[in-house]
Amino acid sequence: MATVNIKINGQQIQARAGITVLEAAKEAGLDIPTLCHHPALANIGACRVCLVEVAKQRTLQPACTFPISEGMEVETESPKAVEARKFVLQMLFSERNHYCMYCEMSGDCELQALAYRYGLDHWTYPSPHAKMPVDGTRKYFIMDHNRCILCRRCIRACSDLAANHTLGVRFRGAKTMISADMDVPFGESTCVSCGTCLQVCPTGALIDRKSAYMGREVHVERTASTCTFCAVGCGTSVVTRAGHVLRVEGDWDAPNQGVLCVAGRFEPLYDTRERITSPMVRKGNGLVPVSWDEALAAIAAKAKGNGGKKTAAYVTGKALNDTLSEFVKVFQGKVRATVGTLEPTLADLELPVGGALADLDTADCVLVVGGDPLATHRVLGYRVKRALDKGARLLVVSDKPNGMAALAHRIFPMAQVAEAVKIAQGSTAPVVIYGGDLDKAGARKLAALTGKARFISLFQGTNGYRARELGLKNTLNANGVKVLYLLLGDGELPEKAVQEARRAAFLVVHAAYKSAATDAADVVLPAPLWYEQDGNFTTLDGRKAVVKSAVAAPEGVLAEAEVLARLAEAL
C-alpha cells in the first residue's frame, strides 16, 4: 500500500495515501478535536472544529475531509487554527441554549468538553437564542432542539446507518432545524425507534427517557455483550449502575456497526412482567415457593421411567449454547424424551444458511422470500435498505403483507418464486433472505441459487442456528405427553402454545417471568434474564456471539444450564 510522508505539528509521520489528516493524526496518536465527525459516519466537514492549518492552503482546512499528500505540513494547534476553533465554539454557544448546568449530558457532552479544552469560561457573544421546541412525542427518547448544534450526526446515522431517512434538515441558514420527514412530530414520523441517532448525538439534544439524569459516564459500568432478541446477534454495550440496567447501546465494532433496533435497545428495559425468583411447586390450588432440591425432586419423581413419548421437553430458541447442549444431554441423552424447540429452525427447507450482514454491503440484488426482516430481524432489514440506497435491487416474494414490499422493485406471490430466482440469477452478487413462510416447494426452486447467492435464514429463535445444528427439529406437541418440560427463559409462550401445554398431565415451566404458562404449571423453575447470563449463542451467520452478564441474577436464580445439570443429577 502506498504511503506518504507528512508532518503534523512538526512530527514526521508516515501514513497510508488517501486517508484524511484526521485519520493520519489519530494513527500517530495526535488528537485533533472534532464535533460533527463520528468514526462510524461519513465526514461532512460542517462544524469546522477540526480546522487545521495546512501549509500552502489559502484557508484553514477541515482535518476530517482533507486528504493527506506527500510533503504536507499541518499545524493542528497553531494560533490561527485555535482562534478559528474558539470562534466556532463561541458561535455554537451563542446559537441555542447551552447552559450546561441544567443539561442531562453535562459531563459527557462533546461540546462542553471542547469548551473546557479551549478555555471558554464566559459568554463572548450575548446569547439571544429564541426558545426552541422540545419534541417529546416519541416513546423512548426526546429531541430537545435547544441543545442541538446541527452537527447532523443524527441525520447521517438515520440515513447512512439505519437507512431510514426519517431525519433531515429544514429551512436554511440560522433557521435550520433538524426535522422528521416533512416536519411532523417525531412520534408520528416514519421513525422506527432504532435509537442510532440517540447514540451518536454529541450533546443533550437527543435524550434517552429511561436513563436521563441517572448517571454520567464516570458513574456507570459498561458490559460488552450481544443482543439476544433475535438471531442477528448485534453487539451491545449494556450500561448499568448499581445493579440496574440504564440503557443498551450498539457496539460500533460489531457487525451491526453500532446499529440496534427497538427490540434490542429499548423494549426490554420497559418490561413490566412479574419476575419469578424462586422454584415453586403446585400444592393444592397454588404454587408454593420451595427449595431447588424439592422442586427438582418433584420433576424427577414424575419424569423417571416416563421416557419416550410420555415425556417431552421443548426449549426456547433464545437459550444459549451451553443451555442447549445441557438440554439435549439431559432430555435426549438421559430421559430419551421427545425434544424440540419452541420456534421452528427452518431445517426442513434444506436451504443453505450462514449468510452475513456484510454480504449485503456488496449485494446488487436482494431476494426476500417468506419472511420480513424489518419485522423480525430489523437490523438485517436496515442493512438491506442500505444495500438498496447503494443501488441494489430488491425482490420480495410473499403472500402476506411485508414490511419490505414498499421498497421492493418487484413483488411476487410465493407461487412465482421462480421468476424472482430468474431475475436474481441475472445479477452479480445476489443475497437470499428466507423465512418461515417459505414452503418446501418454493425452497426447492430457491435452491437453484445455491452457489451463486448467499443465503441468510430468518431463524425465529435467537439461537436457531445452533438448535438446527443440534437437530432439534420437533415443534411443540403435547398429545399424549405425561410430563412436559418447557424452557422459556425470559421469553413468553404464545396463547395457543399454552393451551397445547395444558394438555400435558404434568407441566414444568422454566421461566424468568410469571405468565399464563407458569400459572398452568405444576412446577415452576426461575430463569435468569437476558442481562444476567454468561455464555454464547450462534448467530444466523454461524458466528459464536458472546453474552455477558451485566447484572447478577437475584439470589436463588440459577443459570439455565446449571439447573439442567442439577436436574440430570436428580433423575
Give the position of cell 432478541: 229
Which of residues 203 and 539 has its CB atom nearest to another protein in the complex?
203
Whole-angstrom distance, CA of residue 485 vs CA of residue 488: 10
Q: How far is the CB of 48 from another protein (least distance, A)?
A: 5
Which of residues 11 and 57 has its CB atom nearest to another protein in the complex?
57
Which of residues 44 and 347 has its CB atom nearest to another protein in the complex?
44
Which of residues 23 and 95 has its CB atom nearest to another protein in the complex?
95
- Evaluate whether 357 touches 383 at the Cβ level (below 8 Å): yes
- Beta strands 134-135 and 141-144 are antiparallel
For the chain, helix, strand, coil in percent to 5 are 30, 25, 45
Three-class DSSP category at 571 = coil
| Alpha carbon separation from 24 to 34, 40, 65, 67, 185 (Å, rounded) | 14, 17, 11, 9, 41
Which of residues 169 and 552 has its CB atom nearest to another protein in the complex?
169
- CA 363-365-370 angle, to 5 degrees, is 110
> What nine digits make up the cell of 443?
425452497
Q: How far is the CB of 125 from another protein (least distance, A)?
A: 6
| Alpha helix positions (H), 3-78 | 21-27
Nearest residue to 408 (alpha-carbon basis) of 373, 378, 436, 456: 373
Nearest residue to 198 (alpha-carbon basis) of 390, 360, 38: 38
Tell me the backbone φ, ψ of residue 534, rounded to 5 degrees: -115, 145
Instruction: Read off the DSSP letter of residue 273.
Output: P
Q: How large is the C-alpha radius of gyration of the chain?
A: 27
Q: How far is the CB of 151 from another protein (least distance, A)?
A: 9
Nearest residue to 21 (alpha-carbon basis) of 6, 39, 35, 42: 6
Nearest residue to 497 (alpha-carbon basis) of 520, 527, 514, 480: 520
Nearest residue to 198 (alpha-carbon basis) of 285, 124, 258: 258
Q: How far is the CB of 360 from another protein (least distance, A)?
A: 21
Q: How far is the CB of 63 from another protein (least distance, A)?
A: 10
Point out which residues bind another protein (CB under 8 A). 44-48, 51, 59-62, 65-67, 80, 83-84, 87-88, 91-92, 94-95, 125, 128, 149-150, 152, 168-169, 171-176
> What nine digits make up the cell of 65?
475531509
Q: How far is the CB of 43 from another protein (least distance, A)?
A: 8
Whole-angstrom distance, CA of residue 293 vs CA of residue 481: 24
Which of residues 149 and 396 has its CB atom nearest to another protein in the complex?
149
> What nine digits make up the cell of 68?
493527506
Whole-angstrom distance, CA of residue 111 vs CA of residue 102: 14
Q: How far is the CB of 87 from another protein (least distance, A)?
A: 3
Q: How far is the CB of 51 from another protein (least distance, A)?
A: 6
> What nine digits make up the cell of 548?
455477558
Q: How far is the CB of 430 from another protein (least distance, A)?
A: 25
Which of residues 175 and 496 has its CB atom nearest to another protein in the complex?
175
Which of residues 92 and 478 has its CB atom nearest to another protein in the complex?
92
Q: How far is the CB of 100 from another protein (least distance, A)?
A: 18
496 Cβ contact list (under 8 Å, min separation 6): none
Whole-angstrom distance, CA of residue 162 vs CA of residue 195: 9
- Evaluate whether 256 touches 234 at the Cβ level (below 8 Å): yes
Which of residues 61 and 225 has its CB atom nearest to another protein in the complex?
61
Tell me the backbone φ, ψ of residue 442, rounded to 5 degrees: -60, -40
Q: How far is the CB of 3 from another protein (least distance, A)?
A: 19
Which of residues 51 and 558 has its CB atom nearest to another protein in the complex?
51
H/E stretch holding 511 reads strand 506-511
Nearest residue to 447 (alpha-carbon basis) of 404, 418, 473: 418
Q: What sign results for the dihedral spanned by CA atoms 85, 88, 93, 98?
A: negative
Which of residues 22 and 567 has its CB atom nearest to another protein in the complex?
22
Which of residues 67 and 307 has its CB atom nearest to another protein in the complex?
67
Which of residues 36 and 488 has its CB atom nearest to another protein in the complex?
36
Q: How far is the CB of 26 from another protein (least distance, A)?
A: 18
Q: How far is the CB of 536 from another protein (least distance, A)?
A: 42
Q: How far is the CB of 152 from another protein (least distance, A)?
A: 8
Which of residues 116 and 125 has its CB atom nearest to another protein in the complex?
125
Burial of residue 417 (number of CB atoms within 10 Å: 0-12, 13-18, 19+):
buried
